[in-house]
A and B are shown apart, each in its own frame.
Chain A
Amino acid sequence: MSKTITISASVLSGMMLSGAALAQSVEFSVMESGTYDVAARQIADELSAAGGPHVIVSAFPWEVLRQTNTTDLISGTNRFDVMSGGYYLADVYPYFQGLDDLIARDDFADGMIPNLMSPGRSEFRDGEQIGIPYGIDSYGLIVNTDLLAAAGIGTEFADWAAVIAACPQIEEATGVACLSHPTGSPEQIGAFFFSGYSGTYIDAGGNYALDADAATAVAGEIAALWSFLPENGTAMSFDEAHAAFANGEAALLVTWPSFTIDTLDTDGVAAKGHWQLVNFPGDGFPWLSLWQLFVPAAVEDREAAWTWIKAFAGPEHATRNLIEHNFGSVWVSTYEDEALAAERAHFWPAQIEGFSRAKNPPLSGEAQDFLTNTLQEIANGRISAADGIAMVNETWGTLPVPPALLEAANGSGLAAD
């Protein structure tokens, strides 16, 4: 009898212990990039060693991550307690829970880049914050200072028209292509449009619509810019585009700076010591890449999820993440480090300026894909700029604007009054 009681007690305590362990377990989905996922595993180990929840880091390539997250939410699988994503998850915002109470309780936003936790920059639903920023980048223009000097061209360009005007001179003086860009990733063409277009994306009736004249002018500029790509440069991968600039085969590079800055400063790279990040041209906005952490509405142990969010996205590891894993810090304190600022003087000023202006377009995945695919058609000469923009407006008229994006557009001045 006593033996039975002992065994039962052992089993019961074992179940209670495993129950406690389960309650303190957090599964986190993140991009497999060799940066965010590596940092996540490092911080997860440290958190676990310090007695925090056990964090399972599940990493996927970007496209798979997007699909996995949305499928997990929509199918009700509820595998993940914390998800890594961005504004492109707008279609599934209703599946996330608001975090305002936790942010206020821990004064979490204190010390973050100003206005980063506001609509149009990070993610909201029904007026409540659902996304916690942890990694920032904004589209950049990187110039080869030697090549521009050889052509007698300055390093700052007010808009894309200025780039178009300078390109013939650059190509003639240097013999290399004026512009390199990852043209093979069709969505990336949006960076030129968002920065060149200063109109609104949603009309007064709450429907997607572009100012046709302004949008047509920018689309025409993009088509003109495509003529300054390297030979056969209309389907370049990120690596190809970056290599063309790093090898001195192109004078300008339009890309996500965090993807290439480390490489450009590597010994043996032709561009090392001859490049600079400059202010992104245009009256619109530089495209913002803001990785955020989301907690699905189905998650019950939100305290465990929040503990992980604070550990991974908080200021404690931000500078280390930047130095060791090259992801942009969202904390002001990182940029106040004088030694780092001196070391990064050739790109930090423009990068910080970009962070202050950068936004996300208030577009659902479908609306954005249609715009960028059409811009590709225009750039490749398959359709005129005017016809292409008319086609965008016609199709956009049939697409619903998710309420969260209407809210974001109103907050960031991208919707008509």
Chain B
Amino acid sequence: MSDRQILLLCLVPALLLLALTQFYPLAQSFYVSLHDWTLARSPVMGEFVGAQNYSRVLHDRQFTGALWFTLGLAAGSSILSVLLGFGLALLTVGENWKLRLSRTLLLLPMIIAPVAVGTVWRMMLAARIGPVNEALGALGLGTPNWLGSPGLAQVTLTVIDAWQWTPFSMIVMAAALASIPPDILAAARMDGAGRGLILRRIIVPITLPIILLVAMFRMVDALMTLDIVFTTTGGGPGFATHTLGYWIYVQGLRYFNISQAAAASWLLLALCMATAAAFLLWRRRIMSWQVRQ
């Protein structure tokens, strides 16, 4: 047996494990999505209904409402966290102890469990007794109804999500910034380029592929938001902050409409894959353009 064959043989257990833990559940959920099955009515799967569950989900007004809100939240949160992450990375790039300490402290939101993040923010933003509004009131400023007003609750959730995941953007971009050859920056400075020009003409173009990669991860992650919604607003007021993840959770685990939840999960998976593909394509074009330059 050749070395290559031995190596391939060594991969078999891992591949089998992957097939068992990843592909089997996926295939099973797709199979369920093509059948009529409400667990509360019967523990046995019902008849084959084809794409009926997909059609029903796509015609559900609450699902489409959740889709639009999820897209808004994902886009808003991704843009915010990428811009803030990039800014913080610029401010904290370097190797002295103060910068290292700053980076460590700024990472904290990311390592807190999202459920805890939601609970803490819900208490902080309680409109009548929360510390945020107490502070604003003491300063003579307005005291918004952060989680009780439908439009504002949507914005608030977007900001909370961005707050939690900005450190992820920061840490990746700090690494990207650190990898820029110092010679290039020094040469630009010697040629008389100011900070703004160096940022626009050197730093941003060089790190753009990484920025797009971070944006892709953030976007896909935000499309699946559930925990923060669950702990801050419970999807309310009314249906205002239902995300796709929350809609699927409610259908599948509260009402036990398991086949509809499976269909919606596949639609969400398709959305995430399309988003990731679009970003990767965009990144490839940028990189090709950079090579041509």
Contacts and interface: CB of A to CB of B under 8 A. Distances in A.
A365 B150 contact: no
Interface stretch (A29-37, A120-128, A190-198, A371-379): A371-379
B127 interface: yes
A240 interface: yes
Given A92-B40, A236-B128, A240-B128, A376 B148 contact: no
A366 interface: yes
Interface stretch (A227-235, A274-282, A288-296): A227-235
B111 to A, nearest CB: 25
How would you classify the secondary structure of chain B's contact residues: helix, strand, loop or mixed?
loop
Interface string B245-278: 0000010011111000000000000000000000
B129 interface: yes
Contacts of B155: none
A373 B127 contact: no
Interface stretch (B166-174, B179-187, B236-244): B236-244
B9 to A, nearest CB: 38
A344 interface: no
Contact of B236 (A240, A366, A376): A376
A244 interface: yes
A74 B238 contact: no
A76 interface: yes
B143 interface: yes
Contacts of B133: 232
Given A74-B40, A91-B255, A232 B237 contact: no
Interface string B124-143: 00111100010000000001
A380 B40 contact: no
Given A184-B148, A232-B133, A376-B237, A237 B126 contact: yes
Interface in A221-248: 230-237, 240, 243-244
A92 B39 CA distance: 9
B236 A373 contact: yes
Interface in B99-133: 126-129, 133
A331 B256 CA distance: 35
B228 to A, nearest CB: 16
A235 B238 contact: no
Contacts of A10: none
A186 interface: yes
Contacts of B147: 184, 235
Contact of B145 (A92, A235, A244): A235
A190 to B, nearest CB: 13
Nearest to A66: B254
B53 to A, nearest CB: 13
A233 B128 CA distance: 7
B170 to A, nearest CB: 31
A233 to B, nearest CB: 7
B43 interface: yes
Contacts of B43: 74, 76
Say which size band chain B's interface belongs to. Answer: 20 to 34
A230 B128 contact: yes
Contacts of A365: 254-255
Say which size band chain A's interface belongs to. Answer: 35 or more
Contacts of B144: 232
Nearest to A185: B234
B54 to A, nearest CB: 16
Contacts of A235: 126-127, 145, 147-148, 153, 233, 236-237
B148 A183 contact: yes
A376 B153 CA distance: 14
Nearest to B42: A94
B11 to A, nearest CB: 34
Contact of B238 (A76, A186, A243, A244): A186
A402 B129 CA distance: 41
A67 interface: yes
A369 B237 contact: no
Nearest to A366: B255
A66 B174 CA distance: 46
Contacts of B4: none
Contact of A244 (B128, B149, B237): B128
Contact of B256 (A91, A183, A233): A91
A376 B253 CA distance: 23
Most chain A beta-carbon neighbours within 10 Å: one of B43, B143, B148, B153: B148
Contact of B150 (A237, A369, A382): A382
Given A67-B253, A74-B40, A380 B129 contact: no
A356 interface: no
B138 to A, nearest CB: 16
Contacts of B127: 232-235
B232 to A, nearest CB: 10
Contact of B234 (A186, A234, A400): A186
Given A67-B253, A70-B256, A236-B128, A382 B238 contact: yes
A373 B255 contact: no
A15 interface: no
Given A74-B39, A236-B128, A236-B148, 6 more contacts: A92-B40, A186-B238, A235-B127, A235-B145, A364-B255, A377-B150
8 contacts: A76-B43, A186-B238, A234-B148, A235-B127, A235-B148, A236-B148, A240-B129, A377-B237
Interface of B: 39-41, 43, 61, 126-129, 133, 143-145, 147-150, 153, 233-240, 250, 253-257
List the 4 closest A-B pairs by CB distance, nearest first: A235-B148, A377-B238, A232-B127, A91-B40
